[in-house]
Amino acid sequence: MTARKLGVGLLGAFRWAEKAHLPGYAASDRVDLVAICDVEIDRARAMAERFGARRVYADHRELLADPEVQMVDVCTPTHTHLPLSTAAIAARKHVLCEKPLATDAASAFTASEAADRQGVRTKLGFTFRYSPAIRQIKAWIDDGTLGEIFHIHGFEQNSQFLDPDLPLRQVPQDAPRDRLIPSSIIGYGSHLVDLMRWLGGEFASVASTMRNFVPERVVRGMGEARQRIQVEDGTVAIVEYASGAHGLLQSSFIAVGNYPGVELRVYGSRGAAVARLIEEFGVAETLTFARADAVEFKKVELPASHYAPGTTVNTPWAPLYYRNLVRHFVDEILDDRPQECTFFDGAKSQEIVDAIILAHRERRWVDVARNSGAAR
Ligand SMILES: NC(=O)c1ccc[n+]([C@@H]2O[C@H](COP(=O)([O-])OP(=O)(O)OC[C@H]3O[C@@H](n4cnc5c(N)ncnc54)[C@H](O)[C@@H]3O)[C@@H](O)[C@H]2O)c1
């Protein structure tokens, strides 16, 4: 481990940066928060004051030209993720980008290849990979504790948009009104697919069904009245893994329950583990474990070393997971550790979400073809 600090520049100083990203940098003694940039310069100024950044910019090109910035954090609206990340890669900066990186898998693969060519590291904001409970399950899979993996069940569901009068933001302004608009499978499903692929390996084939359950909603940017709009607010998919394991996946905006509402169950020949990432009564997540010879699930308490400094199982989920994510990316870069949760993984997740949507539209099994087996 070196005593060196990583120079960080953040693009997009709004709600999510304030809640999740900036507390991670402020808490790390290995980060020098060099600059914050927002097209609304007052937002950049306010965050710089609060989290101790040394410079502010209103134009991303100025931040990218700052020689002290080594890593760029893209925390801006979705449609800007790809152009800003691509510009940061071209400027030879390491990049952390919020998900999704792009709206199609091909451009996400292109950005991943550009980063490899430039010799910079990437990380996609797949928040739940940095849950201590999920990381423990990954360790139990890798060290053989769970044995051969048979079944993986993944859910991301909560009641965020159960109320039709709460403006839905995940709808592109030009979305067609006469067909189903994929939404929960993109917003929630992209995380879930990434988790299930990280734990179980490459997906071979998927089948799915998607539905619009709440037919009329208020949509952000489309007035205050409810619209007849076919937003997909629930998807179920079944998965055949390349390993032969079976997967089951559900994303839902309308399932009663608290945030973030992720549940992962892994069943193997020697044991099984269930992680519930659902904030309830001041506890962010729970982990239970059973063995083939002791089948009653027992609660597992994880040691303090599983948590980023300053966090515990009682920390709200956003800072709990994001501090861990930031800590991992900074350590990866400064200590030259193996990469994980990269733009390549983002592209793979996007490719699988596309396959799930196609399977529903054509009511058939769809093979997940490109780059299968090329996990890294
Ligand atoms: N991983 C997660 O669990 C999770 C959770 C919530 C939000 N998010 C993502 O985080 C991102 C930020 O969300 P948000 O709610 O903070 O607000 P937002 O996306 O509405 O805005 C972020 C800020 O970016 C600024 N901005 C826009 N274009 C810019 C540019 N070219 N250069 C510099 N600044 C620019 C805006 O002025 C705004 O202040 C979104 O992509 C969102 O999807 C991820």
CA of 32 to the centre of ligand 1 (A): 22
- Separation between Cα atoms, residue 202 and residue 165, nearest integer Å: 39
Round to whole Å and give the CA distance between 327 and 16: 17
Please state the rounded mean pLDDT for residues 145-172.
93
Greater confidence, 61 or 168?
61
At 329-359, the pLDDT tens digits run: 999 999 999 999 999 999 999 999 999 999 9
Distance CA 117, CA 277 (A): 37
Which of 10, 15, 16 is the pocket-test mutation for ligand 1 (most atoms within 8 Å of CB)? Answer: 16
Segment 223-232 mean pLDDT: 91
**CA of 159 relative to ligand 1 center, distance in Å:** 22
Percentage of the chain beyond pLDDT 70 is 97
Q: How far is the C-alpha of 31 from the C-alpha of 28, rounded, in Å?
A: 6
> Looking at 10-14, 45-49, 133-137, 186-190, which range is the least confident one?
186-190
pLDDT of residue 60: 98
Under 8 Å CB-to-CB from 193, ≥6 apart: which residues?
Answer: 154, 203, 249, 349, 352, 353, 356
Confirm or reject: Cβ of 213 under 6 Å from ligand 1: no
Ligand 1, residue 260: give the atom nearest the CA.
3
Mean pLDDT calculated for residue range 22-31: 92
Question: To the nearest whole percent, how much of the chain has pLDDT over 90?
Answer: 87
pLDDT digits (tens, 9 = 90+) for 169-201: 767 777 788 899 999 999 999 999 999 999 999
For residue 125, give the ligand 1 atom closest to its CA. 1
User: Would the CB of 58 count as within 6 Å of ligand 1?
Assistant: no
- Is the shortest distance between the CB of 192 and ligand 1 below 6 Å? no
pLDDT of residue 176: 82
CB 368 within 8 A of CB 351: yes
Does pLDDT of 17 surpass 90?
A: yes
| Per-residue pLDDT tens over the stretch 314-334 | 999 999 999 999 999 999 999
Give nearest CA residue, ligand 1 atom 42: 77
* Closest CA relative to residue 97, chosen from 107, 83, 110: 83
Tell me, using a 6 A CB cutoff, whether residue 62 lines ligand 1.
no
Distance 38 CA to ligand 1 centre (A): 10
For residue range 50-72, what is the model confidence (pLDDT) as tens digits? 999 999 999 999 999 999 999 99
β-pairing verdict for 203-211 and 234-241:
antiparallel
**Ligand 1 near 38 CB (within 6 A):** yes
**Ligand 1 atom closest to the CA of 40, numbered from 1:** 37
Q: 284 and 315 in contact (C-beta within 8 Å)?
A: yes
Q: What is the pLDDT of residue 223?
A: 86
- The residue whose C-alpha atom lies closest to atom 18 belonging to ligand 1 is 77
13 CB within 6 A, ligand 1? yes
Confidence category of residue 370, pLDDT binned at 50, 70, 90: low
* Protein residue closest via CA to atom 7 of ligand 1: 16
39 within ligand 1 shell (Cβ under 6 A): yes
**CA 188 to ligand 1 centroid distance, Å:** 16
- Answer for the pair 36, 13: CB distance below 8 angstroms, yes or no: yes
CA 16 to centroid of ligand 1, rounded, Å: 7
If you average pLDDT over every residue of the chain, what do you get?
94
Predicted local distance difference test score (pLDDT) of residue 170: 66
Q: Please give the single-letter amino acid code of residue 301.
A: E
Say whether pLDDT at 104 is over 90: no
Burial of 218 (0-12, 13-18, 19+ CB in 10 A): middle
Distance CA(275)–CA(255), nearest Å, equals: 18
In Å, the largest CA–CA distance within the chain is 61
Query: CA triplet 147, 149, 155: central angle to 5 degrees?
Result: 130
Asked if 97 and 122 touch (Cβ cutoff 8 Å), the reply is yes
Closest Cα to atom 5 of ligand 1: 16
Q: What is the pLDDT of residues 265-307, one digit of tens each?
A: 999 999 999 999 999 999 999 999 999 999 999 999 999 999 9
For the segment 109-124, the average pLDDT, to the nearest whole number, is 97
What does the alpha-carbon distance between residue 373 and residue 277 come to, in Å, rounded to a whole number? Answer: 29
Using DSSP's 3-state secondary structure scheme, residue 65 falls into coil
Is the pLDDT score of 204 beyond 50?
yes
